[in-house]
C-alpha cells in the first residue's frame, strides 16, 4: 500500500523535523553551559523528546498493523521510549552535548564553535532516540503478530550506502533493525510463509556491487562472500544495539560507555 507507506514516512519525517526544531531553539537559548544551565535545559526538553518518542512508537505500531490489515493492539510505551531505548537514564544521555562543549573549549576552540559542536551532538542523540523508538516499536508489534521476518525500507531522505545495502537483506523479527547516526529507515513485514533467503533484492544489490567496484574495490559475484561484506559490518553498540558501519571505523562498545 504505497499511499499508506508514503503517509507514514511523511508523518515520521515531520516528527523528526519538530524534534530538531525543539533542540535548535532550546540549545540556542542557553545562556551558558554550567551545570545549572544544563539541568534547566534537560528539564525543559526531556518531556518533549520523550513525548515525541511515544508518538513515533505509536505511529509505527499503527502503520504496521494497518499494513497487515489489522487493528493496532497498542504498545507499552514505557518499553519503547526513554530509558528503555538505551538502558541509560535519559538525563545522563542528554548531558553529553554539554560535555562536548566543555571538551572543545578545553582544546582552545572558540565558544561559538564549541556550542555548535554540542548542538550537533544533541541533534544526533535526539534523532537517534527517535529512530530507536521506531525500531523498538516495530519489534514489539511484529512479535505480537507472530511475524518471522522483516525488511528495511528506504525513505529517500537520509538514505546512505549503508542503508541501501541493508535494504537488500532480510532480517529476523526479534533482532532490532541495525541503525546508524542519522538513520531514518522504516521497517515492513517480510512474511511469505518460508524464509525468503538472505538477499531479497538482488537487482539493488547488484547496483551496490557496481558502486563498490566504481569506488575501486572488487565486487565478487561468484556466490562466495562478496567484498562488500568486508566493508559493511553490523556491530553491537553498548547502548544502541545493532549498528551498521564501515569496517575499520572506530566503534563504541560497552566498555567505552
Bridge partners, residue 244, by sequence: 234
My answer on whether 138 and 167 are in the same domain is: no
Name 153's Cβ contacts closer than 8 Å, sequence gap at least 6.
5, 167, 185, 186, 187, 188
Of 145, 173, 198, which marks where a domain is finished?
145
My answer on whether 51 and 135 are in the same domain is: yes
My answer on whether 117 and 202 are in the same domain is: no
Instruction: Write down the pTM of the prediction.
Output: 0.79
Q: What nine digits make up the cell of 140?
A: 514489539
- Distance between CA atoms of residues 251 and 236, nearest Å: 9
C-alpha distances out from residue 90 to 32, 35, 208, Å:
21, 16, 37
My answer on whether 112 and 172 are in the same domain is: no
Of 117, 145, 173, which marks where a domain is finished?
145
My answer on whether 55 and 74 are in the same domain is: yes
My answer on whether 126 and 157 are in the same domain is: no
Q: Express each pLDDT in 108-122 by its tens digit.
A: 999 999 999 999 999
Q: How confident is the model at residue 249 (pLDDT cuts 50, 70, 90)?
A: very low
Instruction: Check residue 160 and give its pLDDT.
Output: 66
Instruction: Check residue 35 and give its pLDDT.
Output: 95
Instruction: Check residue 253 and give its pLDDT.
Output: 44
My answer on whether 130 and 6 are in the same domain is: yes
Look at residue 248 and tell me whether its pLDDT is greater than 60: no
My answer on whether 154 and 133 are in the same domain is: no
Mean pLDDT, rounded, for 231-235: 61
My answer on whether 118 and 237 are in the same domain is: no
Percent of the chain with pLDDT over 90: 49
Least confident of 76-90, 147-161, 223-237: 223-237
My answer on whether 247 and 134 are in the same domain is: no
Mean pLDDT, rounded, for 62-86: 93
My answer on whether 177 and 89 are in the same domain is: no
Name 94's Cβ contacts closer than 8 Å, sequence gap at least 6.
41, 42, 45, 46, 49, 122, 125
Instruction: Check residue 7 and give its pLDDT.
Output: 93
**Residue 136 CB neighbours (<10 A):** 23
My answer on whether 128 and 13 are in the same domain is: yes
Domain count, the chain: 2
Determine the structural domain holding residue 171 and report its residue range. 149-257
- Distance between CA atoms of residues 190 and 200, nearest Å: 10
Of 145, 162, 195, which marks where a domain is finished?
145
Q: How confident is the model at residue 148 (pLDDT cuts 50, 70, 90)?
A: confident
Least confident of 69-83, 144-158, 193-207, 233-247: 233-247
Amino acid at each position: 500500500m504505497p499511499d499508506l507507506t508514503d503517509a507514514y514516512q511523511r508523518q515520521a519525517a515531520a516528527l523528526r523535523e519538530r524534534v530538531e526544531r525543539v533542540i535548535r531553539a532550546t540549545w540556542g537559548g542557553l545562556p551558558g553551559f554550567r551545570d545549572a544551565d544544563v539541568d534547566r535545559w534537560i528539564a525543559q526538553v526531556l518531556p518533549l523528546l520523550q513525548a515525541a518518542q511515544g508518538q513515533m512508537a505509536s505511529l509505527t505500531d499503527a502503520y504496521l498493523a494497518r499494513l497487515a490489515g489489522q487493528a493496532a493492539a497498542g504498545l507499552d510505551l514505557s518499553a519503547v521510549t526513554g530509558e528503555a531505548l538505551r538502558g541509560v537514564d535519559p538525563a545522563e544521555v542528554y548531558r553529553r552535548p554539554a560535555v562536548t562543549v566543555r571538551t572543545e573549549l578545553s582544546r582552545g576552540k572558540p565558544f561559538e564553535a564549541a556550542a555548535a559542536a554540542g548542538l550537533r551532538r544533541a541533534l544526533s542523540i535526539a534523532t537517534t532516540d527517535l529512530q530507536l523508538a521506531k525500531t523498538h516499536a516495530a519489534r514489539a508489534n511484529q512479535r505480537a503478530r507472530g511475524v518471522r521476518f522483516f525488511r528495511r525500507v528506504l525513505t529517500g531522505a537520509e538514505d546512505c550506502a549503508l542503508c541501501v545495502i541493508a535494504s537488500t537483506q532480510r532480517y529476523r523479527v526479534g533482532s532490532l533493525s541495525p541503525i546508524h547516526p542519522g538513520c531514518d529507515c522504516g521497517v515492513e513485514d517480510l512474511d511469505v510463509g518460508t524464509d525468503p533467503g538472505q538477499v531479497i533484492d538482488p537487482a539493488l544489490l547488484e547496483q551496490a556491487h557496481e558502486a563498490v567496484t566504481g569506488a575501486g574495490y572488487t565486487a565478487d559475484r561468484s556466490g562466495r562472500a562478496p567484498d562488500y561484506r568486508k566493508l559493511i559490518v553490523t556491530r553491537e553498540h553498548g547502548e544502541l544495539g545493532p549498528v551498521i558501519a564501515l569496517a575499520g571505523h572506530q566503534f563504541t562498545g560497552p566498555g567505552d560507555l
